[in-house]
């Protein structure tokens, strides 16, 4: 058993971003123009709807960026508007805490300001100032943009300040 488990190999780590139907195609185009992501493939038929499901517009697209992949998908089974839902949440918890739910995506680049500018040109909104050593990226300059689909992206300079691994 232990021997079998030791053989488990993962070939990819892919963040998956759910986007409200029918905005998935827009989102794919946004991530291309804002971040320079390349589309590796898309499907309009996964998963095949089962008898108890009614999912006519499922689309998932795989995007590649900086040697990693992420997936954009929409899901008619999600009945709510993410922005409206987050607004409702803010009744119960301050807005800035909401980002801690789930995970954020950090993009590393040598030119944080140019990257933010390009993302804003594509439709993202800047969140706060670019700070030095802030965020959870282990150092460097860190800015934030929120994309039109509700996701916050950290734009960071490379994390070369991480300390050595402790024993």
Which residues ranging from 144 to 163 are in contact with its own copies (CB under 8 A)? 151, 154, 158-159, 161-163
Q: In 3D, which of 114, 109, 108, 85 has the Cα closest to residue 98?
A: 85
Count of chain residues binding its own copies (CB under 8 A) = 84
Q: In 3D, which of 137, 150, 142, 144 has the Cα closest to residue 120?
A: 144
Q: In 3D, which of 51, 54, 56, 64 has the Cα closest to residue 14?
A: 64
Nearer to its own copies, 30 or 60 (CB): 60
Site for its own copies in 92-151 (CB under 8 A): 92-93, 97, 100-111, 114-115, 117-118, 121, 131, 133-139, 151
Least separation in angstroms between residue 52's CB and its own copies is 13
Least separation in angstroms between residue 3's CB and its own copies is 11
Q: What is the DSSP letter of 154?
A: E
First to last CA, the chain: 27
Least separation in angstroms between residue 133's CB and its own copies is 5
- List 21, 26, 89, 127, residue binding its own copies (CB under 8 A): 89
Kindly state the tokens that stand for 33.
Answer: 């123009």
Map tokens 């963040």 to a residue: 15
Helix (H, G, I), strand (E, B) or coil at 66: coil
Site for its own copies in 49-88 (CB under 8 A): 60, 62, 65-68, 70-71, 73, 75, 77-80, 82, 85-86, 88
CB atoms within 10 A of CB 146: 15
CB atoms within 10 A of CB 47: 10
Site for its own copies in 9-38 (CB under 8 A): 9-18, 35-36
Nearer to its own copies, 15 or 123 (CB): 15
Nearer to its own copies, 56 or 166 (CB): 166
Least separation in angstroms between residue 92's CB and its own copies is 7
């Amino acid at each position: 058993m232990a021997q079998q488990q030791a053989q488990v190999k993962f070939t990819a780590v892919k963040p998956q971003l759910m986007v409200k139907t029918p905005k998935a195609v827009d989102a794919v185009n946004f991530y291309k123009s804002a971040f320079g992501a390349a589309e590796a493939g898309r499907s309009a038929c996964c998963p095949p709807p089962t008898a108890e499901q009614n999912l006519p517009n499922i689309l998932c697209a795989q995007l590649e960026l900086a040697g990693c992949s992420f997936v954009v998908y929409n899901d008619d089974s999600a009945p709510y508007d993410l922005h409206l839902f987050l607004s409702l949440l803010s009744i119960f918890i301050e807005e800035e805490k909401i980002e801690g739910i789930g995970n954020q995506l950090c993009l590393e680049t040598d030119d944080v300001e140019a990257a933010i500018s390009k993302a804003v040109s594509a439709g993202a909104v800047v969140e706060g100032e670019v700070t030095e050593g802030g965020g959870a990226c282990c150092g460097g300059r860190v800015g934030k943009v929120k994309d039109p689909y509700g996701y916050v992206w950290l734009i960071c300079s490379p994390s070369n300040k991480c300390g050595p691994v402790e024993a």
